[in-house]
Structure 1
C-alpha cells in the first residue's frame, strides 16, 4: 500500500508542531518554577524604597513609597483579607517633581465602587505587584479610612499550568496520529 503523500506530510508536520509545543511548555514550566522561587525569595528580602522606574525585579518585595497627593482613583475587582469579592481602590499618586510614572497604590477594599474620600497622601508601606497599565503597584498594608485591608499578594497565587499544557499538546499529537492511522486503515479496506 502506498501512503497518500500530501495528507501524510500534513499530519506528520502537524504532529511535529504539537510535540514541539509540548516540549516548549515543559521548558516554560521550568522557567516559571525558577521565577516563582525568585518571587518567593523577594518576599523575604528587606524592604526597599519605591522604585523610580518599573522593574519586575522588585515584584513581591516589601517597599515603602511616599504619595505626595492622590491625583486620581480607580477601582478594580479584588478580594479583602477574608476572601470576599469587591473592589480594590487604587490611588494614582504624585511622588515628586512631576517626573516618572509616580506610584499606583492599592489603598484598600470595599464592596462600594465609589472613590474613597479624605485621604490626602502620605507614606505607604506594602508589597510590590504587577499593574497591567503602569508596570508596578504597591499594595498597602494599611487601608485608608473607610476601606478594609486587601488580600496581600503572594507568589503562590501565580498559576503554573505549563505541565498540563504540555500534556494537552502531546495528547493532541497522539490523537492526530491515531485518527490518521484509522483513516489509512479504512482506506486500505476500501
Structure 2
C-alpha cells in the first residue's frame, strides 16, 4: 500500500470536519435555545398565576412581554369582525369569534369574544369593557365570554412546544454518524488499494 493511500485525503477530510463542526455547533445552539425557552415558559407560568389584572398594554412589544396575564380594555367601537378555528373550555373544536376593537387612544386590539360551533354569529356586540387573558397574536381572550358565546379554552403556555433538547440530540447524532461513515469509508478505501509489491 502506498503512503498516499495510507493518508486520509485532505479535501474530503476537511469537508467532513467542517460539516461535523457545524453540526456540533448547531447542537450546542439548540441547547442554548432550550435554556432560553425554559426561562420563557417559566415567566409565562408566573404571569398566568398572577391574579392582578393589568390595563391592555399599548405597544406590541409590551403586549408580548405580558402574555398570559389577565388584562382589561375598553372597546370604543368594533372596526371588523372575523372568526378562527378554536376550542371551547371543554376542549371541543369549533370557532373563536373575534372583533377588531378601536380603543379610546385610537389604537386597535384583537379581542376573542368567545366560542361557537358556527362562524360569524357574534354580530350583536358593539363594544364595551372587556376582561380576559392576553394570548399570543397578541389578542385578548375574553373571560367571561361576550355576546352570549361560550367560553374559549384559556390560553395555556404549556401548549408551546419545547423541542430543543431533541433537536440538539439529533444534531449530535448526525455529527457522530458522519464521523463513523467517513471512518468506514477510509477503511474501505485502504482495503481496496492494491498492496505494494516489495
Secondary structure of 1:7 counterpart: helix
Question: TM-score w.r.t. structure 2 length?
Answer: 0.88
**1:162 and 2:168 are equivalent in the alignment:** no
Q: Which runs of 4+ in 1 moved over 4 A?
A: none
Match of residue 3 from structure 2: none
**Counterpart-to-counterpart distance in 2, 1:32 and 1:145:** 36
Q: Assess if the C-alpha contact under 8 Å between 1:73 and 1:115 holds in 2.
A: no
Q: Of 7, 20, 45, which aligns to 1:40?
A: 45
Structure 1 or 2, whichever has the larger Rg, is: 2
What displacement does 1:142 show?
2.0
Secondary structure of 2:136 counterpart: strand
Structure 1 gaps of 5+ residues are: none
Q: Assess if the C-alpha contact under 8 Å between 2:113 and 2:147 holds in 1.
A: no
Q: Render the CA deviation track for 1:158-189: whole Å, top value 9, x for unaligned.
A: 11111011001111111111111111111111
Match of residue 86 from structure 1: 94
Match of residue 111 from structure 1: 117
Pairs within 5 Å for 1:120-139: 120-131=126-137, 136-139=138-141
What displacement does 1:97 show?
4.1
**1:52 and 2:58 are equivalent in the alignment:** yes
Q: Render the CA deviation track for 1:137-174: whole Å, top value 9, x for unaligned.
A: 10111222342211000211111111011001111111
**Counterpart-to-counterpart distance in 2, 1:177 and 1:113:** 55
Match of residue 179 from structure 2: 177
Q: Render the CA deviation track for 1:58-116: whole Å, top value 9, x for unaligned.
A: 11110011111211112122211111112212110011243x3x111111112212252
Q: Assess if the C-alpha contact under 8 Å between 1:107 and 1:144 holds in 2.
A: yes
Q: Kindly tell me the number of residue pairs found equivalent between the two proteins.
A: 184
